[in-house]
């Protein structure tokens, strides 16, 4: 019968049966006692499952309390250790549970170390909180004192102002006497030291400037913009002359000043005077970089300014001479004609003749060309 017992029970009982010793499995009486010991229904004391460690209770006292309450229940050690771990305070359970103690001694060692760790951490936190509370209290006292002083000063000012208003309201005749009081000596001195009013030097009238004395000077500058006619690409390390459109300019000769927009694209433009024909001209630009630069349509390249032709001077390279060249033509040493025009001089004929005679007499003093 003992041999067929595992065939009529569940898998849980089968596992328990094969975990028994060989002698207990072959003896029917021993098997019966072991079966009743393992699977007999017992009246469980549910109060043991609700044992929790108090907030101020030490670990040793907590363990002794559990052992005293479970002394008559014959609870297995593994279950008892699980009850102890589950009843710990949350701060201690967070340290003990990852260690997974199996025996009573392992639980006691882990719980004792966790309790000491929490006590040290809590002590430091309490000290820090105490210092912070003291600092906050001192700041509150200083702030309260400052507010009290400010409030007292404000109340005093308001009281003084109210007393002054009441005195002026009760004695209105003093206001009239104050208005009729003559100027003091200080105000008389100030009036005496006031500078006299200057008059117009042209007509002599006070507080009035004649039209012939007033002059308004203004400087009018007409600026235009030099833009690309169409989008173009500047090759790397190249120089190019672009056709451009010049706007807001009246006149043929204009000065082109490169704008900072070229520096943003790492380009360089030539500062030059160009001729504008029907709003179009050219602009010289250099791309010193190693990459191609794109210029969009109507991109501003330079500012255009009108130029007066009488202040322009052409450079004739044919007339320029080098320092090391030898002049073949003989020097003109004839100083008879100094080319001094006296036609517009406010002199009489007699005075002009005397001046010409004097210049001719001292002609060696004057230079007739740049070399002299």
Q: What is the average pLDDT score of the chain?
A: 76
Whether the predicted pLDDT of 58 surpasses 50: yes
Query: Per residue in 13-55, pLDDT tens?
Result: 778 778 888 777 778 888 888 877 776 655 445 556 678 888 8
- CA 61 remoteness from chain centre: 61
The Cα 40–Cα 33 span in angstroms is 10
Residues above pLDDT 70, as percent of the chain: 70
Residue 107's pLDDT band (cuts 50, 70, 90)? confident
The Cα 302–Cα 295 span in angstroms is 13
Residue 121's pLDDT band (cuts 50, 70, 90)? confident
Phi and psi angles of residue 293, each rounded to the nearest 5 degrees, phi first: -110, 130
Residues above pLDDT 90, as percent of the chain: 11
60: which residues sit within 8 A by CB, 6+ positions away?
Answer: 112
How many C-beta atoms lie closer than 10 Å to residue 355's C-beta? 14
Q: Which of these ranges, 84-93, 138-147, 246-255, 298-307, has the smallest mean pLDDT?
A: 246-255
Burial class (CB in 10 A: 0-12, 13-18, 19+), 65: middle
Burial class (CB in 10 A: 0-12, 13-18, 19+), 201: exposed
Q: Which of these ranges, 163-172, 321-330, 343-352, has the smallest mean pLDDT?
A: 321-330
Which of 278, 295, 277 has the alpha carbon at shortest distance from 286? 295
- pLDDT at position 295 is 92
- pLDDT at position 140 is 87
- pLDDT at position 178 is 47
Residue 188's pLDDT band (cuts 50, 70, 90)? low
DSSP-derived secondary structure for 239-266: EEEEEEEEES--SSEEEEEE-THHHHTT
Query: Per residue in 260-308, pLDDT tens?
Result: 989 888 999 999 888 888 888 999 999 999 999 999 999 999 998 888 7
Instruction: Check residues 161 and 189 and name the one with the higher pLDDT.
Output: 161
Query: Per residue in 67-84, pLDDT tens?
Result: 887 777 677 888 888 888
- pLDDT at position 279 is 86
Whether the predicted pLDDT of 60 surpasses 80: yes
- pLDDT at position 208 is 56
Is the separation of the CB atoms in 283 and 234 below 8 Å? no
Instruction: Check residues 321 and 122 and name the one with the higher pLDDT.
Output: 122
Is the separation of the CB atoms in 25 and 32 below 8 Å? no
Phi and psi angles of residue 171, each rounded to the nearest 5 degrees, phi first: -125, 80
Q: Which of these ranges, 18-22, 87-91, 193-197, 253-257, has the smallest mean pLDDT?
A: 193-197
Q: Where are the domains of the chain?
A: 2-39, 41-152, 224-308
- pLDDT at position 341 is 78
Dihedral sign computed on CA atoms, order 313, 319, 325, 328: negative
- pLDDT at position 292 is 93
Whether the predicted pLDDT of 179 surpasses 70: no
Pairing of strands 232-234, 280-287: unpaired
- pLDDT at position 229 is 92
- pLDDT at position 267 is 92
CATH topology of domain 224-308: Deoxyuridine 5'-Triphosphate Nucleotidohydrolase; Chain A (2.70.40)
- pLDDT at position 218 is 55
Is the separation of the CB atoms in 218 and 268 below 8 Å? no
DSSP-derived secondary structure for 301-359: EEEEEE--GGG-----GGG---TTPPP-SPP----S------TTSS--HHHHHHHHHHH
Is the separation of the CB atoms in 288 and 266 below 8 Å? yes
Instruction: Check residues 126 and 235 and name the one with the higher pLDDT.
Output: 235
Whether the predicted pLDDT of 362 surpasses 50: yes
CATH topology of domain 41-152: 1.10.1200
Q: Which of these ranges, 40-54, 186-200, 357-371, has the smallest mean pLDDT?
A: 186-200
Residue 4's pLDDT band (cuts 50, 70, 90)? confident
Residue 244's pLDDT band (cuts 50, 70, 90)? very high
- pLDDT at position 215 is 59
């Amino acid at each position: 019968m003992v041999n067929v017992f595992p065939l009529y029970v569940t898998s849980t009982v089968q596992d328990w049966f094969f975990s028994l010793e060989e002698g207990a499995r072959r003896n029917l009486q021993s098997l019966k006692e072991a079966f009743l010991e393992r699977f007999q229904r017992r009246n469980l004391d549910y109060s043991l499952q609700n044992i929790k460690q108090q907030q101020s209770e030490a670990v040793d006292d907590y363990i002794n309390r559990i052992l005293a309450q479970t002394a008559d229940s014959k609870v297995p050690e593994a279950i008892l250790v699980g009850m102890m771990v589950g009843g710990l305070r949350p701060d201690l359970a967070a340290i003990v549970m990852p260690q997974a103690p199996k025996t009573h001694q392992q639980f006691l060692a882990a719980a004792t170390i966790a309790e000491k760790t929490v006590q040290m951490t809590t002590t430091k936190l309490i000290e820090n909180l105490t210092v912070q509370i003291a600092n906050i209290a001192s700041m509150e006292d200083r702030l309260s004192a400052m507010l009290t002083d400010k409030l007292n000063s404000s109340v005093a000012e308001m009281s003084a102002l109210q007393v002054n208003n009441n005195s002026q309201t009760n004695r209105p005749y003093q206001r009239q006497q104050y208005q009729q009081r003559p100027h003091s000596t200080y105000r008389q001195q100030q009036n005496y030291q006031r500078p006299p009013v200057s008059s117009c030097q042209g007509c002599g009238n006070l507080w009035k400037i004649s039209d012939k004395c007033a002059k308004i000077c203004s400087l009018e500058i007409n600026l235009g913009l030099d833009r690309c006619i169409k989008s173009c690409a500047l090759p790397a390390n190249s120089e190019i002359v672009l056709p451009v459109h010049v706007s807001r300019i009246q006149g043929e000769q204009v000065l082109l000043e490169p704008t900072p927009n070229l520096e943003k694209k790492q380009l360089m433009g030539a500062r030059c005077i160009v001729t504008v024909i029907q709003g179009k001209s050219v602009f010289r630009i250099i791309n010193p970089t190693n990459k191609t630069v794109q210029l969009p349509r109507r991109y501003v390249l330079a500012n255009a300014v009108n130029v007066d032709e009488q202040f322009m001077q052409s450079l004739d390279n044919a007339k320029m001479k080098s320092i090391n060249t030898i002049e073949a033509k003989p020097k003109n040493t004839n100083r008879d004609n100094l080319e001094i025009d006296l036609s517009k001089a406010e002199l009489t004929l007699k005075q002009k003749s005397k001046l010409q005679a004097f210049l001719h007499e001292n002609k060696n003093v004057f230079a007739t060309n740049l070399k002299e």
